[in-house]
Amino acid sequence: MKTLLAWTYSAITALLILGISMIGLRSPRPMIDVRTIPLITHSGGLTPQSPPGEMFRCEQNGLQRIDILLVAIGPSLHPRATLRLRANSPSGVVLRETTISPSVYQTGPAWVSFEFEPVTDSKDKVFHFSLEPADEAATQLSPWVRFHGQTGENDAWGDRFLEPGATHRGNFVSDHAHLRALAFPVESMLPSLGTARLELFDGPGSKDPVRVATLPVLDEVHAGWTFFSFEQIPESRWKRYYFELQTPEHCRLIGTGGENGEGIPVYKTFHGLDVTESSLFGMTRGALRQPDRDLVFRAWGEDPPSAVFARLMERTGDDLWLAAILWCLATAICLRVFVFVDPDPRPEVVSRSAPTVDPEVSPAPPAD
């Protein structure tokens, strides 16, 4: 009877531990979560002329919060930033607007949450949000960008300004196939004041570029990475490419020192193809659409516990129930062995068959 009781206690305790652990599963999680580590490219300070944004399709009803990963690129005291949520596209009707004063420092990136009244029937609808500076201090805040592709060349941010209005040259061996973009850090790039032009050649003396990329007028960047994207080159793996980047008079690239101390550009290369079946439709700069990249953000909707469990069941199948049962059985056995133990009149150390000698003097393997 005592044995049965001990097993019952063990089983109930195992179930309790499992139940308490499962409570945590109920907490909501973002329906969209752009995850990328390490963060390698920030888009530069916010501007009212071409605010960064993103288009996405909502997978849940009750869209109520958008988090954006921001970093301060300069001293920024009590900045205020405004998020505008629109229907369908950058030109759609403004559905929600919220202004907050985010706590973001130069020490590292931080998630900033913009909460608003839930959009009740948001499921399967397309939305657009943009992030605009509400004051001067907010122009020192920069969101992060995930460009669609694997990185090849991956230089760090430079340590000096390069000559403005100059043509900067460099060459690299493309690590992967499908070369599709180069990104350069700039102090500021205002295409409306002059065009930057990237030409890519497949030989040192080649006259005809294999690709040419320029920046649209709205693609303004302040202290961030600017992307020159072009039609991907399928057979680019392990080929050497030479680039010439002509910068306008107002634009200073950020570079580093070469072998002889001269300033040379730093850059990143991106390779790959776009993926189908995504709920993200790409980043925007004002009215300009940039489908080859996304802002790093999270979107939250209504995520009731029943939906969380439904999602869990869909993704784990029947394995979850079986695993839970097996875990309870295993745990109950251990609890029975160690915790809900029968009172035992025998001494705890078996000494009938083991030699009663000091194990330090003659350490013989004892028998059970």
3 state DSSP class of 32? strand
Of 180 and 252, CB closest to other proteins: 180
* Cβ contacts of 8 within 8 Å, gap of 6 or more: none
Q: Which is nearest to 149 in space by CA: 26, 270, 286? A: 270
Q: Which is nearer to other proteins, 58 or 72 (CB)?
A: 58
Q: Give residues 208-237 in contact with other proteins (rule: CB under 8 A).
A: 232, 237
- Cβ 33 to other proteins shortest distance, Å: 6
Q: Are 45 and 223 in contact (CB under 8 A)?
A: yes
In the range 26-55, which residues lie near other proteins by CB under 8 A? 29, 32-38
x-marked contacts with other proteins along 48-87 as a string, rule CB under 8 A: ----------------------------------------
Residue nearer to other proteins on the CB measure, 124 or 319: 319
**Least distance between other proteins and beta carbon 130 (Å):** 19
Per-residue HEC secondary structure of 54-68 comes to EEEECCCCCEEEEEE
**Cis peptide leading into residue 38 (ω within 30°):** yes
- Please state the closest distance from residue 99 (CB atom) to other proteins, in A: 26
Cα–Cα dist 251/262, whole Å: 18
Determine how many CB atoms are found less than 10 A away from the CB of residue 164.
Answer: 16
255, 162 contact by CB (below 8 A): yes
3-state SS, residue 17: helix
**150 scored as a contact of other proteins (CB under 8 A):** yes
Contact segment (CB under 8 A) with other proteins among 67-75, 90-98, 184-192, 326-334 equals: 326-334
Nearer to other proteins, 208 or 358 (CB): 358
Q: Does 5 bind other proteins (CB under 8 A)?
A: no
| Binding residue (CB under 8 A) for other proteins from 94, 156, 212, 330 | 330
DSSP conformational letter for 343 = P
Residue 141, phi then psi, degrees to nearest 5:
-100, 140
278 is an interface residue for other proteins by CB under 8 A: yes
Q: Does 335 bind other proteins (CB under 8 A)?
A: yes
277: contact with other proteins by CB under 8 A: no
Interaction of residue 125 with other proteins, rule CB under 8 A: no
Answer yes or no whether residue 302 interacts with other proteins by CB under 8 A.
Answer: no
* Contact string (CB under 8 A) for other proteins, positions 247-276, x = contact: ------------------------xxxxx-
> Which residue, 197, 195, 191, 225, is CA-closest to 211?
197
Which of 5, 22, 156, 212 is close enough to bind other proteins by CB under 8 A?
22
Candidate list 5, 103, 240, 304; residue touching other proteins; CB under 8 A? 240
Residue 96's contacts (CB-CB under 8 Å, 6 or more residues apart) are 83, 84, 85, 116, 117, 119
Tell me how long the chain is. Answer: 368
Binding positions for other proteins, 164-203, rule CB under 8 A: 173, 175-178
Q: By CB under 8 A, is residue 364 in contact with other proteins?
A: yes
Q: Is 283 left (phi over 0), alpha (psi -120 to 50) or beta?
A: beta
The verdict on 327 binding other proteins (CB under 8 A) reads: yes
Query: CA end-to-end span of the chain, whole Å?
Result: 27
341 binds other proteins (CB under 8 A): yes
